[in-house]
Structure 1
């Protein structure tokens, strides 16, 4: 396992390096520059806040192709009835804070540290990160955020305070940008996103799509 130098922004090439279960490096820092460089190379941080920083690029990769989006009959009805309304980048800080604080089944605590959260907020100010907000009766009830690299959207985290809020927001986002995005990176498997059409693809395929977008 490779330890990163905090004074040098670099990573092992994930195309040629397979770490344990997709973990390719540890250490370094959570600077805006390093995080942005990592995502441009298909790498993301995932660790417990009181532990050392871990960097991942799993194989296979869990992604969603916009034209493969699945919408259940019940979700179609919810969207048709306009139970929720949606905005983009209206309150990035509130979305990421809710993602940090929301209680998740089977999880004790959060991987989203204050330092990492501040770096994403800065990336949002630079225009690299975006949020989708889901509202009900003028109350923020769900949403998600991520980084966009060309035609690749790297989803980071989502939250929901009421049933179906985050799912509705995700569907709205995919339908809105289906002609502008080639792929949505979901990173690791969840049943929630699998039900919406996300699936595993080889790491090599994902990195090729990502790098083709970086070169444009």
Structure 2
């Protein structure tokens, strides 16, 4: 067993068992906190509500993370480039929610160039997200083109006044960026200030992601996770947005 795993808290088979404090996460690799457990809905929600998320590859044990720097979008801070805005104005694209959850998760799980054919969204992870969706905790934001074909989207978990994004993908260029902009606009309308993006990358940096120290993110999360969400079904509350309404 690699040395870092020997130093980790090992989760037992009790789904509701607490995680160790995030501050105990390793510095190398940054944020690795615990190993083992399962992907049951109760453990998933316990993790996300504690600022922790699973991230592992096929053949690895379940690994749980809370990095020292957290990628966070402000719901009023997602920026689309001028070039993409111009292209979207007359695209005929539309954005919906929870109308193609399984397809979005499968799209995010598909191997991408530079990943060596692998994916962290394993079959077990896909099954876990589908279970969370059936329970009303996991949601997708989908972009459909003018012919009503799925062009891309994103998915994540929602609780309180918090949305934790897990992954995004595009079949057509710009679709995932539009999905994120639509999510941010709707959350801003609801008074939800933040979107957790876990770990920054070049794409999210271009869209306006910020890197927050772990303590700052955990403090913000604690103030949002128990607030009552608006009533009603997520899909109906989100509505349908034409791309032109999101870029003007």
Q: TM-score range by the shorter chain?
A: over 0.9
Q: Distance in 1 between matches of 2:78 and 2:60?
A: 36
Report the counterpart of residue 142 of structure 1 in structure 2. Answer: 152
Report how far residue 54 of structure 1 moved.
0.5
Q: 2:67 pairs with 55, 58, 62, which one? A: 58
Report how far residue 103 of structure 1 moved.
2.1
Q: 1:170 pairs with 180, 190, 198, which one? A: 180
Provide the secondary structure at the position in 1 that maps to 2:207. coil
Extract unaligned runs of 5+ from structure 1: none
Post-superposition Cα deviations, 1:63-96, rounded to whole Å, max 9, x if no partner, equal 1112222221112213322442111100111111
1:113 and 2:116 aligned: no
Whether contact under 8 Å (1:102, 1:159) holds in the other structure is: no
Post-superposition Cα deviations, 1:168-202, rounded to whole Å, max 9, x if no partner, equal 11112212222322111110011111111101011
Q: Distance in 2 between matches of 1:115 and 1:32?
A: 12
Report the counterpart of residue 95 of structure 1 in structure 2. Answer: 104
Q: Distance in 1 between matches of 2:161 and 2:88?
A: 25
Q: Distance in 1 between matches of 2:104 and 2:226?
A: 30
Report the counterpart of residue 13 of structure 2 in structure 1. Answer: 6
1:199 and 2:207 aligned: no
1:214 and 2:241 aligned: no
In our comparison, the structure showing a higher alpha carbon Rg is 2
Provide the secondary structure at the position in 1 that maps to 2:24. coil
Whether contact under 8 Å (1:141, 1:160) holds in the other structure is: yes
Post-superposition Cα deviations, 1:113-165, rounded to whole Å, max 9, x if no partner, equal 11221111111111111101111121111011000122221000111111111
Provide the secondary structure at the position in 1 that maps to 2:114. coil
Q: TM-score if structure 1 supplies the norm length?
A: 0.94
Report the counterpart of residue 131 of structure 2 in structure 1. Answer: 122
Whether contact under 8 Å (1:75, 1:168) holds in the other structure is: no
Cα RMSD, aligned residues only: 1.5
Q: TM-score if structure 2 supplies the norm length?
A: 0.82
Q: 2:167 pairs with 157, 162, 173, which one? A: 157
Q: Distance in 2 between matches of 1:26 and 1:172?
A: 35
Q: Distance in 1 between matches of 2:92 and 2:66?
A: 37
Provide the secondary structure at the position in 2 that maps to 1:132. strand
The aligned length equals 215
Whether contact under 8 Å (1:70, 1:197) holds in the other structure is: yes
1:84 and 2:82 aligned: no
Whether contact under 8 Å (2:161, 2:226) holds in the other structure is: no
Q: Distance in 2 between matches of 1:171 and 1:143?
A: 11
